[in-house]
Structure 1
Amino acid sequence: MAVIELKNVQKIYGKGSAQVAALKDVNFTANKGEVVLIMGPSGAGKSTFLTIAGSLQKPTSGEVLVNGQDISSLSSKESNNLRLNKIGFVLQAYNLVPFLTVQEQFELVDKVKKQNNISQTDFQALLKQLGIADLVKKYPGELSGGQQQRVAIARALYANPEILLADEPTASLDSKNVDEVGQLFSFLAKDRNKAVLLVTHDKRLEKYADHIYEMMDGRMTKEK
């Protein structure tokens, strides 16, 4: 069974002559152990797809299934609980708390989600793998964009989600770092059994993808 699935999803904003269809009959499937790219130009509907797949907003029509459960009718509290336990986000703005050190970012996760986070052994291994083990006492403002991005990836994975959603995860990275991050996402999918969904227009990530979906004008087509 797919860990996440969208069936005939539409998202419409506005009314009457101001109505805009951001998603048009979108169908999408992802399994654990896969890296899936959602590609397309700005304005294609990628960000709307991300927020609906992550239960940050609801579709106008259609179904969004996580482990076979339709999440499109969940209450706000139930959606919060789903995101806390099942879905990790790596957003373009990183969303790190500026007055907390790197270590304290993870301690904050422990306060919000008290159970089923990754073990300390796995956590230390993850920090080393991402090359940020020596940054734990630094504040976000002391880090480069690439370092902040790596911390954001680690923080999303710390809560041990089944699904990882990343928005333009390589936007600020050079080709060497893109390869490292691409290899990391592939490792997370295969070795940690995550479904990794990357919303991107970076073609350098294509070689790490098990499947590729193309978005254009709110419509989605499976390319690979």
Structure 2
Amino acid sequence: MAAISLKGVSKIYGKGIAQVTALKDINFTADKGEVVLIVGPSGAGKSTFLTIAGALQKPTTGTVMIDNKDVSHLSDKEANNLRLEKIGFVLQAYNLVPYLTVKEQFLLVDKVKKQNNMSHEALTDLIKQLGIDMLVNKYPNEISGGQKQRVAIARALYANPAIILADEPTAALDSKKVEEVGQLFKDLAQKQNKALIIVTHDMRLHKYANKTYQMLDGQLHEEK
């Protein structure tokens, strides 16, 4: 079953001679239980794709469907609720709160989203699996970039979203950690029936994906 689909989606910025078409007639589907990679050079439109898929901005034309509901033109409040309940983001910037310890990052999620988060036991297992269990009392400025990335992954997964959108989630990780995170993503998709969409340059993730799309000049094509 499709968790998310984009139908005829285009995104245009600016007007006249300043007009830029970031996405051109995108058709895309990610089913529950799938890991999908979006690969392509910088400036190809990958980040715009991710923000539209995650209801962070609206398409100029076309529709975005999540669980068979058109979410293309939600109000800001409705889009916020959608992201809170259904979508987890793993961003390159990590977006960790600098004055909160690793453990407190998860307590913050509990304050914002009060229901349907992972159990304490599941979170403990996830933290151990990602190798960050020794960091729970550290602040973001006390840990490395790769460790921050793994904390950001854990925080996104803790909210138990049906759809996970990740922007270069393994960029700061060595090959061993990439294998661990790739297998984690694959297991989450298959065992918990989640859809994972990963924008990446990291072809080390290719073997964990069910489908790979190439994005170039705002156009998307599935690799066969």
Amino acid aligned to 1:88: G
Partner of 1:155: 155
Following superposition, the deviation at residue 201 of structure 1 comes to 1.2
CA-to-partner distance for each residue in 1:80-128, whole Å, 9 max, x for gaps? 0000000000000100001100010010011111111111111111111
Partner of 1:213: 213
Alignment map for 1:91-102 (pairs within 5 Å) = 91-102=91-102
Partner of 2:41: 41
How many residue pairs get aligned? The number is 224
3-state SS of paired residue (2:166)? strand
Runs of 5+ unmatched residues, structure 2 = none
3-state SS of paired residue (1:8)? strand
Question: In structure 2, what is the Cα distance between the partners aligned to 1:138 and 1:39?
Answer: 33
Partner of 2:178: 178
Partner of 1:188: 188
Question: In structure 2, what is the Cα distance between the partners aligned to 1:108 and 1:11?
Answer: 33
Following superposition, the deviation at residue 32 of structure 1 comes to 1.1
Partner of 2:54: 54
3-state SS of paired residue (2:171)? coil
TM-score normalised to structure 2 length: 0.98
Amino acid aligned to 1:165: L
Following superposition, the deviation at residue 177 of structure 1 comes to 1.6
Question: In structure 1, what is the Cα distance between the partners aligned to 2:75 and 2:155?
Answer: 25
Following superposition, the deviation at residue 41 of structure 1 comes to 0.3
CA-to-partner distance for each residue in 1:64-91, whole Å, 9 max, x for gaps? 0000001011100000000000000000
Question: In structure 2, what is the Cα distance between the partners aligned to 1:77 and 1:100?
Answer: 26
Alignment map for 1:41-190 (pairs within 5 Å) = 41-190=41-190
The two structures, once aligned, show a CA RMSD in angstroms of: 0.8
Find runs of 4+ consecutive structure 1 residues off by over 2 angstroms. none
Question: In structure 2, what is the Cα distance between the partners aligned to 1:193 and 1:87?
Answer: 14
**Identity across the alignment (%):** 72
Following superposition, the deviation at residue 45 of structure 1 comes to 0.2
3-state SS of paired residue (2:2)? coil
Question: In structure 1, what is the Cα distance between the partners aligned to 2:216 and 2:202?
Answer: 15
Amino acid aligned to 1:57: Q
Question: In structure 1, what is the Cα distance between the partners aligned to 2:121 and 2:107?
Answer: 15
Question: In structure 2, what is the Cα distance between the partners aligned to 1:109 and 1:29?
Answer: 28
TM-score normalised to structure 1 length: 0.98
